[in-house]
Amino acid sequence: MLKGKKVVLGVSGGIAAYKACALTSKLVQAGADVTVIMTTSAQEFVTPLTFQALSRNPVYTDTFDEKIPEQISHIDVADWADLIVLAPATANLIGKVANGIADDMLTTTLLASEAPVYIAPAMNVHMYAHPAVQENLKRLEAYGYRFIEPGEGYLACGYVGKGRLEEPETIVSVLEEQESPFLPLKGKRVVVTAGPTRERVDPVRFFTNFSTGKMGYAFARKAKELGAEVTLISGPVSISEPLGVKVIQTESAHDMYEAVMKELPQSDIVIKTAAVADYRPATPLDQKMKKKEGSLSIEMERTTDILGEIGKAKTNQFVVGFAAETTEPITYAKQKLIKKNANAIVVNNVSEAGAGFGTDTNIVTYINGSGLEWNLPLQSKEDVAYQILIQVANELKDGHT
């Protein structure tokens, strides 16, 4: 889908600039015509000659270095581009673009261009999470900019967390998906639940589980990429909100139940990945419980079965439930499919390596009411979400409700 596309690659000054070299090569291999613009800081990490050799095109570094007298470089490049990719996009570059600052070749070109712009952030985990950076990202989203979210892992600064520039292969894959007309969920409203719930014992204690929300957040991001209007109903997690997605923050099972039932009537697809508590303290205390001698007993009561209530209330919604099991996962999933009146159940054995809570990967089986039993081997949660959403889109197209 990138063959013949004229791509401007904007490289700003972060250690991830070295990945932009590989990205340039991958884009050229995909058939794109690539022109690179570098900031002054980017040249501290990689030389323009490297990008010139990889792109086979001149590299722009200075607004006032007019290579062709008959043209104004930043206007000419802006008009030439079919799409612009900022990779890596540092906090500084994001801040400048969000606030309309144009003080170098890259930012002046951005302001002058009407081409789609894709931003691939890369920075320290704390910088990425800073309110100013998050506010700038939201402003750019409102302007229509598109994002390739950073990955999680070991960063050059020594921290481990979100902020690593996505791999070049993934960036090219995202560009190919976005620049193609393949949006099977366009016009669909998707509701995703994610993360754990917290059931309060007293003002300082609560019952919860090990869910991190990674699977649900992956579904929200992928559904958005596939054209859907997405609402993410999230329990307490430490994950950045997906851009372009409406997020409703909840705490308890009751909070999540109320939010889901409010969104259900206007939804087309419900993906319920949240690990909701089955029980809560019958009588939460207003004051902190004091430590006493001996054992402690807390009376628990059932929470509302959210998936079961969705199954009762749904009209034409396609409902996908999740089941985290440790024994006989397929047997329990098939029982849950019928009992909850769901259209499909995605089940995993959380005792398997790579399939438990908190991992970046999953191993699941998709079971639907037509008898399909589809095994998805170990892969990233992003890939799991993408494949299941495509399956759901196909079943809706075929009239399965």
Active site residues: 157
The answer to whether the annotation marks 288 as part of a ligand binding site is yes
The answer to whether the annotation marks 210 as part of a ligand binding site is no
Q: What is the dihedral of CA 12, 135, 177, 8, to 10 degrees?
A: -30
The phi, psi pair for 11, rounded to 5°, reads: -115, 120
- Residue 217 in contact with residue 297, Cβ under 8 Å? no
The answer to whether the annotation marks 340 as part of a ligand binding site is yes
The answer to whether the annotation marks 207 as part of a ligand binding site is no
- Percentages helix, strand, coil for the chain (3-state, rounded to 5) are 35, 25, 40
Kind and range of the H or E element at 23? helix 17-29
CA distance linking residue 173 with residue 26, whole number of Å? 10
3-state secondary structure 368-392: ECCCCEEEEEEEEHHHHHHHHHHHH
- The tokens for 10 are 């904007």
The DSSP call for residue 291 is P
Which residue from 93, 82, 70 is spatially nearest to 20, judged by alpha carbons?
93
- The tokens for 148 are 């390739």
The answer to whether the annotation marks 219 as part of a ligand binding site is no
CA distance linking residue 135 with residue 139, whole number of Å? 6
**Residues annotated as binding site for CTP?**
278, 288, 322, 336, 340
**Residues annotated as binding site?**
278, 288, 322, 336, 340
